[in-house]
Amino acid sequence: MKPGIHPDYHPVVFQDFSAADAVLACSTITSAKTIERSDGSTYPLAAIDVSAWSHPCWTGAHRIVDTAGPVEKFHRGYGQRGGRK
């Protein structure tokens, strides 16, 4: 690797605030916020909105969208104009 062209790669804590879980990983992201872990070390904190702990697909909270609803709404609003013969 060429020296001086790569960003700083360091440990960062990614915290999902909706699930209150955090994971320590290496990244090039920078942050002004920091967090102190249980081992006494301080790391930069990156707040994330959705992770595997809170994503509806993985938690089982996702909903199934019924496509018949919009089609029925369309037919109620516009009817069967110029129907088949």
pLDDT of residue 17: 80
> Would you say 21 and 34 are in contact if contact means Cβ atoms under 8 Å apart?
no
Q: What is the 3-class SS of 56-85, one letter each residue?
A: HHHHCCCCCCCCHHHHHHHHHHHCCCCCCC
Residue 56 has pLDDT above 80, yes or no: no
pLDDT of residue 50: 79
Lowest-confidence pick of 32-36, 56-60, 72-76: 56-60
Q: Highest mean pLDDT range out of 18-27, 60-69, 71-80?
A: 18-27
pLDDT of residue 48: 85
Compute the distance between CA of residue 30 and CA of residue 16 in angstroms, rounded to an integer: 17
Backbone CA torsion sign across 43, 46, 51, 56:
positive
Residue 68 has pLDDT above 60, yes or no: yes
Indicate the pairing of strand 21-27 with strand 34-36. Answer: unpaired
Structural domain boundaries of the chain? Answer: 10-78
